[in-house]
Amino acid sequence: MSAAPLGLPACSRLRRETGWPAWSRPPAASPRIGEAPAPQPPGAQSDAIDINSADEELLKRLPGIGEVKARAIISFREANGPFSSADGLLEVNGIGAATLEAIRDLVEAR
């Protein structure tokens, strides 16, 4: 049998056209390797952690943020009000430039 059954394209053609084997093609919205994901529309929810509402457990998911730094963020927020941006974390005892750069893309101040 040389043609694909039921008029379906051969797997080799799908692989050639999409870069993925037919049985493992990603959803249409998934970027290919090396491509940036599509930008989110305005008003869409992001996956970033809101530093103004996150609890200790959520903050501890961030790289370089353990129990002590998570508590320091919460204590600072409670004493000084909400952060206006991620840069406000530099005011928290124990958070320096290196820590901020490691988490900058993972947090936001809503």
pTM summary value? 0.60
Q: Please report which helix (H) or strand (E) contains residue 49, including its range.
A: strand 49-50
Q: Is the pLDDT of residue 65 over 80?
A: yes
- In sequence order, what are the beta bridge partners of 80? none
**What would the two tokens of residue 84 be?**
């206006």
Residues 22 and 11: beta-carbon distance below 8 Å: yes
Interval 24-33 mean pLDDT = 55
Helix, strand, coil distribution of the chain in percent, nearest 5: 45, 5, 55
- SS3 assignment, position 15: helix
Largest CA distance in the chain: 74
Q: Is the pLDDT of residue 56 over 80?
A: yes
Mean pLDDT of the chain: 79
Domains annotated on the chain, with CATH: 8-35 (no CATH), 51-108 (1.10.150.320)
Q: Is the pLDDT of residue 102 over 80?
A: yes
Interval 74-87 mean pLDDT = 97
